[in-house]
Amino acid sequence: MAEGSPPLGGRQGQAGSALTPANLVSLARVPLAVAFALFDRAGVRVLVLAAAAASDLLDGWLARRLGPSRLGAVLDPVTDKAFMLTAFSVLALSGALTPLEVVGVLLRDILAPLGYLAGVAMRRPFTVPARLGGKLVTTGQSLTLFAWLMGSRYLEPLAWATAAMALYAIADYGRAAVRHSSQS
């Protein structure tokens, strides 16, 4: 199971082009992830993090306004995860959090693709519309990265709170997957 936008239809999704405005904004997170890894100045990384967060809000808004695309339902969560995995790899290499704390913060991002691959293996892949738990995890991840970049004493508490949100999100997405499989 992967997170994504529900297939609501609309102009953007009907255009048939993979290069929709929302998808282009989602794709911008790939070079932002590279920039986060390459630049070692905290101020630059804060700007990159802010741009990635803004792109996540903007692509969702564009998809709702212009209509989602099938590609976007996969592309958005994949580029979100690519950015977060890159950023938290940089954080992990800094030693500011323990490996357990980093895995906790990324748990949803690790397990969601595995759930999707399980669906593919069972020949029943599907996406789950973005849910509150997932939004909370993404917010917690961004706040954790910001705390690290700012040298905040709240880094570890934010990491643990985000890990707790990830556990909630995993359970919530799991319930949605069970409901989906029982309806199929």
Q: What is the pLDDT of residues 87-113, one digit of tens each?
A: 999 999 999 999 999 999 999 999 988
DSSP 116: H
Top pLDDT among 58 and 121 is at: 58
What mean pLDDT is reported for the chain?
Answer: 89
SS3 125: coil
The DSSP symbol for 122 reads: T
Q: Which residue has the tokens 């748990």?
A: 107
CA-CA distances (angstroms) from residue 148 to 39, 41, 116, 153? Answer: 15, 12, 31, 9
> What's the pLDDT at 28?
97
Instruction: Give me the CATH topology for the region 2-183.
Output: Four Helix Bundle (Hemerythrin (Met), subunit A) (1.20.120)
Burial of 35 (0-12, 13-18, 19+ CB in 10 A): middle
Span 61-89, mean pLDDT?
A: 93
Domain spans in the chain, listed from the N-terminal domain onward: 2-183
Residues 6+ apart with CB under 8 A from 2: 73, 74, 77, 78, 112, 113, 115, 116, 127, 128
Express as a percent the part of the chain with pLDDT over 90.
67
CB 42 within 8 Å of CB 95 = no
Give the Å distances, CA to CA, from 44 to 27, 99, 131.
Answer: 20, 25, 30
Per-residue model confidence (pLDDT) at position 1: 47
C-alpha–C-alpha distance, residues 38 and 71, integer Å: 28
- Rounded average pLDDT over 146-166: 98
Instruction: Kindly report, residue by residue over 127-154, the tens digit of the pLDDT.
Output: 777 889 999 999 999 999 999 999 999 9
Q: Are 83 and 77 in contact (CB under 8 A)?
A: no
